[in-house]
Structure 1
Amino acid sequence: MPDTRSEPRYDVIAIGNAVVDVIASCEEDLIEELDLNRGGMTLVDEARADELYAAMPPAREVSGGSAANTLAGISTLGLQCAFIGQVADDQLGKVFRHDMRATGIDFDTEAREGEPATGRVLIFVTPDGERTMNTFLGAGQYLPAGALDEELIASGAILYLEGYLWDPEEPRSAMRRAIEVAREAGRKVAFTASESFVIERHGDDFRDMIDAGLIDILFVNESELATLTGKDDFEEGFASIENKVPVLVATRSAKGAVASADGERAQVAAEPVDKVIDTTGAGDQFAAGFLAGYAKGEPLERCLKRGAIAASEVIAHYGPRPEADMPALMNAKLG
């Protein structure tokens, strides 16, 4: 283990699903015909993934995964990032690795031999921009603790963990070990809840980690906050947990976002968007903007503003990762 108080080499290191997003526009009736969970995320097996893929209209394929998308946004903003995630030794795995490295992110986790294939997310986007996701985790759910580079984890100022990956047993154990390594090195641990169904399955784990002080930065959306706290009223839910987490960030879609840190509370409105094209990656990019500001020591409200700007950029086009010149956009919006 390196010197636990050494200057971090990376701003953010993330552990998450290594998947390729397959995105297609569709009409509402296809959602009903395929019996999909409109606007949500559903885990599917490989057979169901193949069935849905065959039913999709013409699609585009881009590397995705919640934490990987967030890192892509952070890297675009000029910060140093590394990713830990499991791909298979197949074509999609090679595509994912190439895309991460091409974005400036270090990604050196060895590919897994044999089945299952690299994960993919089949995303159906309706005319209102809502995305319905169907995720085959594939090789990603077999990330073992032995694949962790503990020196790498200890070299990051912030360890960012994806709730989606908490579901499978192997990566859950790997992330628990990563938290230990990061905290021993005096680093910050950030966690995104990802989806209400994840909290329904593992809420006791998350609440235990919060109570034990293992999470420094927690990202939730409005529905996830309600599931986590058991309180339908946003203010009640937020108040019930904000003193348990050093930094709590809650996004509220069109109602903007709220955050608290060390007794300070800030909120921002959602950034205006001419037309919502695809909401895929909105939460991921909000986290990217926020963490980019946080890593630089910026004020809480400015971090939220960065998050809102990043989210507004990604929902104005297809795909979960930024396409604009993000530093220029931030400068123009922030002044």
Structure 2
Amino acid sequence: MQTAFCTIFGEVLFDNFPDGSRILGGAPFNVAWHLQALGRPALFISRVGEDDAGREILSAMQSAGMTRSAMQIDADHPSGSVAISITDGQPSYRILDQQAYDYIDAEAFHHLRKQGLLYHGSLALRNSVSRQACLDLQQTWSGPVFLDVNLRAPWWQTNQVLEWVAGADWLKLNDEELELLLPGEQSISNKMHLLQQTYHLSGVVLTRGSQGAMALDSEGELFDIAPDRNIEIVDTVGAGDAFAAVLLVGIAENWPMPVILKRAQDFASALVGQRGATVADPAFYQRFIDAWQ
């Protein structure tokens, strides 16, 4: 079996819209998809139901060339789902409970090579079963752990998220999540330094939407990047996941922090010009593969 560029642990789900349409997503899945398309195949660890949605997910992975060797099938719980409702043009999201990705089984991947870069989010750790599976994986892992914070009400508690930060080497979050975890009058940079020093992090990356991103490297040096003012925005769904995927590439390939930030911002800026969190057209990714050679 081909050695994975990195290992991704977490949810895959469908966003279900009122008109009956649905879009495949979930932050870890989106990250794994981008890595595959960028020529850095990831081993994606997740769980789907024994249902039509689960079969559709596995089929999409096969079509994209993603390995399915760490995917689990659950006969008792449905494939992940988010119900989206639209009120006065504004979407609201209801992340359904007791989904297949809440029951990722640690026993199923005890044979994996536990080395390299390990990515996980926070949503898939809401249930004790998947949470324990992720913790078990980390305890025997050789290599850096990357935590991508995705705070989705009501599925998180501050003390629990900070425990996961303590188990990570790299932390990515957005400015709203930073404020939720560390409320108060301190500056953004002070809060980032506080997280890095308290939890002995190799790096902290903060995405700020239209304002770009900031990052601390292992020396505690602060860098920032602003997006091009002329980017075309179709939708911003999955922009943070696109950013995270390039962060993983940069960390694994030892790019300097300013290079990581610039390339991650460029990739995320291109993605928001597309509809949805992932892109099916290989040409979209090829220009970045070529530029990064």
Bucket of the pairwise TM-score, normalised by the shorter protein: 0.7 to 0.9
Contact 1:196 1:224 in 2 (8 A): no
Q: Larger deviation: 66-75 or 118-127?
A: 118-127
Paired residues for 1:166-315 under 5 Å: 166-182=125-141, 186-195=142-151, 197=153, 201-211=156-166, 214-232=167-185, 233-243=187-197, 244-263=200-219, 264-272=221-229, 274-315=231-272
C-alpha distance after superposition, 1:157-185 (max 9, x if no partner):
11100111111111111111111121xxx
Letter in 2 for 1:113: A
Aligned twin of 1:112:
74
Q: What is the SS of the residue equivalent to 1:111? A: strand
Does 2:249 correspond to 1:321? no
C-alpha distance after superposition, 1:241-283 (max 9, x if no partner):
1333111111000110011111232211124454322221111
C-alpha distance after superposition, 1:301-323 (max 9, x if no partner):
11112221222222222211134
More relative contact order, 1 or 2 (CA 8 Å, 6+ apart): 1
- What's the CA shift for 1:286? 0.8
Q: Distance in 2 between matches of 1:88 and 1:219?
A: 29
Q: Distance in 1 between matches of 2:48 and 2:257?
A: 35
- What's the CA shift for 1:240? 1.4
Q: Distance in 2 between matches of 1:306 and 1:123?
A: 32
- What's the CA shift for 1:295? 1.6
Q: What is the SS of the residue equivalent to 2:15? A: strand
Q: Distance in 2 between matches of 1:286 and 1:81?
A: 16
Aligned twin of 1:39:
none
Q: Distance in 1 between matches of 2:106 and 2:289?
A: 40
Q: Distance in 2 between matches of 1:280 and 1:131?
A: 12
Letter in 1 for 2:190: E
Q: Distance in 1 between matches of 2:62 and 2:229?
A: 32
Aligned twin of 2:95:
135
TM-score, normalised by the number of residues in structure 1: 0.76
Q: What is the SS of the residue equivalent to 1:288? A: helix
- What's the CA shift for 1:221? 0.3
Contact 2:192 2:216 in 1 (8 A): no
Aligned length: 285
Q: What is the SS of the residue equivalent to 1:250? A: strand
State, as a whole percentage, how many aligned pairs show the same letter: 21
Contact 1:229 1:241 in 2 (8 A): no
| Correspondent of 1:103 among 64, 68, 80 | 64
| Correspondent of 1:151 among 93, 103, 111 | 111
RMSD: 2.7
Q: Residue 261 and residue 221 in structure 1: after superposition, are their counterparts in 2 closer, same or farther (change >3 A)?
A: same
Q: Residue 312 and residue 125 in structure 1: after superposition, are their counterparts in 2 closer, same or farther (change >3 A)?
A: farther
Structure 1: gaps of 5 or more residues: 1-7, 25-55
Aligned twin of 2:288:
330
Q: Distance in 1 between matches of 2:290 and 2:262?
A: 12
Q: What is the SS of the residue equivalent to 2:119? A: strand
- What's the CA shift for 1:224? 0.9
